[in-house]
Amino acid sequence: MDLDFTPGEDAFRAEARGWLAAHVPATPLPSLETAEGFAAHREWERTLSGSRWSVVSWPEEYGGRGASILRWLVFEEEYYAANAPGRVSQNGISLLAPTLFEHGTDGQRARVLPAMASGETIWAQAWSEPEAGSDLASLRSTATRTDGGWLLTGQKTWSSRAAFADRAFGLFRSDPEADRPHRGLTYLMFALNAPGVTVRPIGRLDGKPAFAELFLDGVFVPNEDVIGAPGQGWRVAMSTAGNERGLTLRSPGRFLAAADRLTTLWRERADPSDTALRDRVADAVIGARAYRLFTFGNASRFAEGGDIGAESSLNKVFWSELDIRLHETALDLLGPDGELCDGDGSGDSGWSEGYVFSLAGPIYAGTNEIQRDIIAERLLGLPKGRR
Amino acid sequence: MDLDFTPGEDAFRAEARGWLAAHVPATPLPSLETAEGFAAHREWERTLSGSRWSVVSWPEEYGGRGASILRWLVFEEEYYAANAPGRVSQNGISLLAPTLFEHGTDGQRARVLPAMASGETIWAQAWSEPEAGSDLASLRSTATRTDGGWLLTGQKTWSSRAAFADRAFGLFRSDPEADRPHRGLTYLMFALNAPGVTVRPIGRLDGKPAFAELFLDGVFVPNEDVIGAPGQGWRVAMSTAGNERGLTLRSPGRFLAAADRLTTLWRERADPSDTALRDRVADAVIGARAYRLFTFGNASRFAEGGDIGAESSLNKVFWSELDIRLHETALDLLGPDGELCDGDGSGDSGWSEGYVFSLAGPIYAGTNEIQRDIIAERLLGLPKGRR
Amino acid sequence: MRFLLDAEQTEFTRTLDRLLTAADTPAAVRAWSAGDHGPGRALWERLAATGVFALAVSEEYEGLGPLPVELAAAFVELGRHAVPGPLAETVAVSVLLQRLGDRGPAKEWLPRIASGRAMVTLALSGPYALDADAADAVFHVVDDDLVLADGHGPVRTSLDPARRLARPTGGESVAHGPAVREAADWAAFATAAQALGVGLALAERTVAYAKQRTQFGTAIGAFQAVKHQLADAVIGLEFGRPLLYGAAVALAAGAPDASRNIAAAKVACGESAYAAARTALQLHGAIGYTAEYDLSLWIGKATALRTAWGTPSECRARVLSA
Amino acid sequence: MRFLLDAEQTEFTRTLDRLLTAADTPAAVRAWSAGDHGPGRALWERLAATGVFALAVSEEYEGLGPLPVELAAAFVELGRHAVPGPLAETVAVSVLLQRLGDRGPAKEWLPRIASGRAMVTLALSGPYALDADAADAVFHVVDDDLVLADGHGPVRTSLDPARRLARPTGGESVAHGPAVREAADWAAFATAAQALGVGLALAERTVAYAKQRTQFGTAIGAFQAVKHQLADAVIGLEFGRPLLYGAAVALAAGAPDASRNIAAAKVACGESAYAAARTALQLHGAIGYTAEYDLSLWIGKATALRTAWGTPSECRARVLSA
């Protein structure tokens, strides 16, 4: 049992740190939930990919460095420690790409991945529908066969990044006659500027259009943009959900950097004898450290071919609640400035935007209620059934 | 809206305070969970009743003062502020007596209540069974008709006070053929020294025999000791459960006194700049005050003929969780002495016995899980069914 | 003792509820957040006609007060309907003007405040005055002086978009005297009431949503995890409520422990409203996270009111103060 | 990097698990609580034979250590089985004797400690020594002196009945030097491991109980409220575990931040074990509240270990210390 990095890993860290120090914008980019900020973040993706830092864990042929999960974790630590911009390509990289690696064709990978790596194509996810939040089996939007492809019709919502993104991916009901509701779904990719797509941005709590509704009216998708077999979309989508994704949805680097910034804020602002605040800051530091080490354990198990199944549910509940508590503590440390929104002028602390972002954590990617059910049923073996 | 006491109520308070100051033992009685302590507490009940302080809210004919709920609350505040002994008659007074007032016969009341008021008869409750904790509808112990009465057979458990008490009351299945499981139950009283009763004391967490198992083997109960109609026991037991009992199970006086003692402990022991502890002490003070005022509101509503139904579930969750937090704070304030048991020698703080006692709060009298279900379903109208 | 609202007080809250329901308050909130104060001012005038702003003003200055119980009941409704504007600040200014030595400014401003003709705000314990850009007068307190500001700095937005914060600048002292603590107490008291109302609205709306929203083939309100979160939210609020009215009774009686009672109410109402907001957000899921869905009007307000006019930490310290 | 126990370490924990399962440890705990140390001492000797008490003792003194990873793994098992006795105290004495200047007492005591022939305890940061009545030697620390006590005060019982506390009295200094902080860190580290094991046992037992106990016609583990409480208990423990082993790795490396890592592990393991105890008690209901049911052996221990060798507050302060 050790926490040692190899000389190669240390060199990789040093290279990442050096590059980031030289390239991270001195002033924060505008919020990526604005048109201007989105463009700036896309440009940043191009800069990253120019030095092969945008998708370090991918094979080189698609723009990556073939880095191990451990190196990816190292990169993420350096990335957030450098206070580098949020990743506008996150949806594509963490949700679509793993699916393409596992279920896509060579042609799809060649067509999609390099453009994703460079920021040329920014992807939105299109999972949810108004009547199907966490319950994807009840999706209603349809994919109907047509000449050479499919026609998509229906409505998607909470499509993150869709206000400004280029393309989207999601599940559509292709066989309404299937014997069980989560069968008969097909996984498709489509362009957001295709005929028949209407994008209506939706403001999140602070008003910024962090997601959108998509209205689809006979949107044509060629067969080559179906991932996996038609009707197998549920299996395709789920197969990558619990595994590597459990490790990569939110890297420990984010929380380590946030806990460091919180500690700095506390040292600057707080009365050190105010133990109530001190304890909350300490808990953030402890939580970030625990998450880092937990992830190293999972990465070690994964590297040996172990499976990260229901344990990704432990992960999800832990980081999402840690994130909220950490940001609540920051707002309390800011005193009367704690309620001020970021992005409306000088003096942005960065904390309030982070706070609003954190509030979504327990909701998306499977609510924490569902994660706790999964922990209880799959990890602890408690009986299913009555909720 | 006011919080004013009448001159009569003020005089009542002054009388109670004066009497308690003159009579409360200078040194705490031994734990009532021991034979010696039980006897001492029984003697204290006799002292109380000698001056008509044991059951102030009862009619005078049964040993009370016909006091209003408000006067009862005043008495309880004075009682606990005076650090007076725990009430060994609590089971009888708060559980059996309200049932007798509502469903008993004049003969039963005359026979049972004065002896309860004087401490001559101490009552244990006999609700639970090994396979029926919160789920009373699944009781299995039986009452079978016999000449002039009933024969009780079966096993009861978690019978509080039964290690040393005189008599017990509980529900028994008298009609195994009833169409629904909570029908066919009968409410009976029986002597713990009757032939066929075996009492096996059970130690609680700290080893003290706070309750017992009762093994019943053809225990004869005369018809006169059935309360209400045979087969109606469930209705008889439940009809008083949510109403006055919701107000009187744990009076605010207990928590006000405990919060005061906690504040004193904090002022003596804590570094005032230790805001983490300060906040927890403040929350105990706030909680006790909230519970007092909430109870005054309920008492006002009750005095006007209003119903205290599912609101007693709000009550139960609130005081039981307040009680634990308050005692946890006290143990933390005691530092290395916090883990010491009371009752094994000099230097008892009183806090650790109170802590152990508090831990039972969320479990007994309907677990807090059940109370939350009741709040959600009856108070908020959420759909029943899936748990 | 009768620790319940009387029939008249209950009817007063019903009147406010009806008025604010009929007035499409959410639209006024959204306009206010966008810097258009017209609908909000119109709402304030209608509220003034019911006497809401006269409750902290004595008859000497054409008010009805001080009537802290009625004030609490009214401010709960204002919170329940997410009414925008410098509500607690109006109370604080009213108290300050009455308690400070100089009767001139009191006679100038109080009748207009009570009648709703003037909207006022102030900065007292913190740097910002709420809605300075909407107010007819912006005060700040410098030591024991009440200063009528001659302007304010740039307007910043809050996590509650209907709260717009700016620093008062300059101006001259209009009155002097040590009434700051008392004014801050009244503002904390009004804020506690408003927070309780915000929490109640969040709980009510979430209960209604849980009854109609289905997932996995059943109303989500049938899930025990949902039930228990809502039960906990309601427990918190229902034990905040008596603390609020207990503080009102203490204020009405001029009790020496009124300030401690207010602090207790502020902690309990503020924290339980914030907990209700977290629960509301969690149980609504993504739609609750959406600015265009009305729930967001209360979520941000619960966050802001938790710390406005006394953070939980400050209030807890006060509860234990001698 | 390989942040996992290796096959040998895993096998070591399995050996301990088998040994302690076969030995009817609960009976030894109950005897210990009643002041009968015989079965507990016998258990200690069997544990010593596996090398448990040699892990903090260097080869110079006939030990195997220092092997903090193995120590952590072993103490998790000791906690899982509620093994009684001055476990963390033995570690602290071992560290102190090795670090203090004088080799005499080290040579006298350490080989006996490592082999299980001697059971020792000490009072260091608090007034009490655990199980002084069972120990062959009771130490206390006065300033920088390690004092071999010549007796102890009356034995008091703890909320964990298997912990028996007494104040060491009198005696003479046997060694001198500034190793107190290091010894306390090791004791906190061992306590964190033990607490984690206690929490794991509580969670395992409660999961098993929830599968077989029925109420309202269904296994209680099918109720969502039960599921979520258990999920939360397990989340707490599973994120305590890596902090514990992270601290072990830091100790093994002599890292300068080892003390802060230990403090983090102590908070997380202690608090999550206590939370698991509360959940275990709540979900078992009355039977969990019963001394004769074995669950009680772990419930009291979780309470005591939360504060032993560093309260949560002290540990949080240390986490943020420079």
Mean of pLDDT values over B226-237: 93
pLDDT score, position A387: 44
User: Which chain D residues are closer than 8 Å to A376 by Cβ?
Assistant: 221, 226-228, 230-231
User: Which chain A residues are closer than 8 Å to D249 by Cβ?
Assistant: 1-3
Residues 6+ apart with CB under 8 A from C9: B1, C69, C70, C73
Shortest distance between the Cα of B158 and any Cα of chain D, in A, equals 7
pLDDT digits (tens, 9 = 90+) for D24-58: 999 999 999 999 999 999 999 999 999 999 999 99
Q: pLDDT category, D22, cuts 50, 70, 90?
A: very high
User: Which chain D residues are closer than 8 Å to A366 by Cβ?
Assistant: none
Q: pLDDT category, B133, cuts 50, 70, 90?
A: low
Minimum-distance CB partner of A274 among B275, B386, B387? B275
Whether the Cβ atoms of residue A141 and residue A152 lie closer than 8 Å to each other: yes
Contact B383 C219 (CB under 8 A): yes
Residue of chain D whose Cα is closest to the Cα of C222 = D224
Shortest distance between the Cα of B285 and any Cα of chain C, in A, equals 8
User: Which chain A residues are closer than 8 Å to D313 by Cβ?
Assistant: 275, 279
pLDDT at A177 over 90: no
CA-to-CA distance for C278 and B318, rounded, in angstroms? 20
Q: Phi first, then psi: what are they for B216, rounded to 5°?
A: -120, 125
What is the helix (H) or strand (E) element at residue C157, kind and residue range?
strand C156-157
Sign of CA dihedral A224, A225, A227, A233: negative
CA-to-CA distance for B197 and B152, rounded, in angstroms? 9
CA-to-CA distance for B285 and C315, rounded, in angstroms? 12
β-strands D137-142, D120-123 pairing: parallel
CA-to-CA distance for D285 and D204, rounded, in angstroms? 16
Whether the Cβ atoms of residue B16 and residue B74 lie closer than 8 Å to each other: yes
Contact D227 A300 (CB under 8 A): no
Mean of pLDDT values over D98-117: 91
pLDDT digits (tens, 9 = 90+) for C148-200: 999 999 999 899 999 999 999 999 988 877 778 899 999 999 999 999 999 99
Residue in D165, D216, D290, D316 to test binding to B, most B beta-carbons within 10 Å: D290
Q: Phi first, then psi: what are they for A252, rounded to 5°?
A: -55, -30
Which chains border A (3 or more CB–CB pairs < 8 Å)? Answer: B, C, D
User: Which chain B residues are closer than 8 Å to A279 by Cβ?
Assistant: 276
- How many B-C residue pairs are in contact by the CB < 8 A criterion? 148
Catalytic residue among A244, A268, A321, A369: A244
CB atoms within 10 A of CB B118: 18
Whether the Cβ atoms of residue B352 and residue B338 lie closer than 8 Å to each other: yes
Residue of chain B whose Cα is closest to the Cα of D303 = B339
Contact C225 D225 (CB under 8 A): yes
Shortest distance between the Cα of B244 and any Cα of chain C, in A, equals 17
DSSP class per residue in A317-347: HHHHHHHHHHHHHHHHHTGGGGGBPTTSSTT
Contact A293 D235 (CB under 8 A): no
CB atoms within 10 A of CB C35: 11
DSSP state for residue C288 in the 8-state scheme: G
pLDDT score, position B148: 95
- How many C-D residue pairs are in contact by the CB < 8 A criterion? 8
**Among the listed ranges A242-256, A329-343, C159-173, which one has the minimum average pLDDT value?**
A242-256
CA-to-CA distance for D205 and D295, rounded, in angstroms? 8
A213 is catalytic: no
pLDDT score, position B240: 64
pLDDT at D322 over 80: no
CA-to-CA distance for D205 and D298, rounded, in angstroms? 10
pLDDT digits (tens, 9 = 90+) for C48-78: 999 999 999 999 999 998 999 999 999 999 9
pLDDT score, position C257: 95
Q: Nearest-CA neighbor of D86 among D175, D155, D146, D24? A: D155
pLDDT score, position A345: 52
Q: pLDDT category, A245, cuts 50, 70, 90?
A: low
User: Which chain C residues are closer than 8 Å to D228 by Cβ?
Assistant: 225
User: Which chain A residues are closer than 8 Å to B279 by Cβ?
Assistant: 276
Give the CA distances from residue B215 to residues A48, A267, B127, B185, B230, in Å, rounded to whole numbers and listed in that order.
76, 64, 13, 18, 22
Q: pLDDT category, B387, cuts 50, 70, 90?
A: very low
User: Which chain B residues are closer than 8 Å to C319 by Cβ?
Assistant: 282, 285-286
Contact B281 C320 (CB under 8 A): yes
Minimum-distance CB partner of A359 among C160, C214, C281? C281
DSSP state for residue B375 in the 8-state scheme: I
pLDDT score, position B246: 58
DSSP state for residue B31 in the 8-state scheme: P
Domains along chain C?
181-321 (1.20.140.10)
Mean of pLDDT values over D71-83: 98
Shortest distance between the Cα of A273 and any Cα of chain B, in A, equals 6
Shortest distance between the Cα of B294 and any Cα of chain C, in A, equals 5
pLDDT digits (tens, 9 = 90+) for C280-318: 999 999 888 888 899 999 999 999 999 999 999 999 999
**Tally of CA atoms within 13 A in the half-sphere of B134 that contains its CB:** 23
Mean of pLDDT values over A250-276: 92
Contact D215 B134 (CB under 8 A): yes
**Among the listed ranges A71-80, A257-266, B212-221, D92-101, which one has the minimum average pLDDT value?**
D92-101
Q: What percent of chain B has pLDDT over 70?
A: 95
Residue of chain A whose Cα is closest to the Cα of D221 = A382
Residue of chain D whose Cα is closest to the Cα of C229 = D225
Residue of chain A whose Cα is closest to the Cα of B279 = A276
Catalytic residue among B244, B268, B321, B339: B244
Residues 6+ apart with CB under 8 A from D2: A1, A2, A300
Whether the Cβ atoms of residue C152 and residue C132 lie closer than 8 Å to each other: yes
Shortest distance between the Cα of D64 and any Cα of chain B, in A, equals 32
Mean of pLDDT values over B16-26: 97
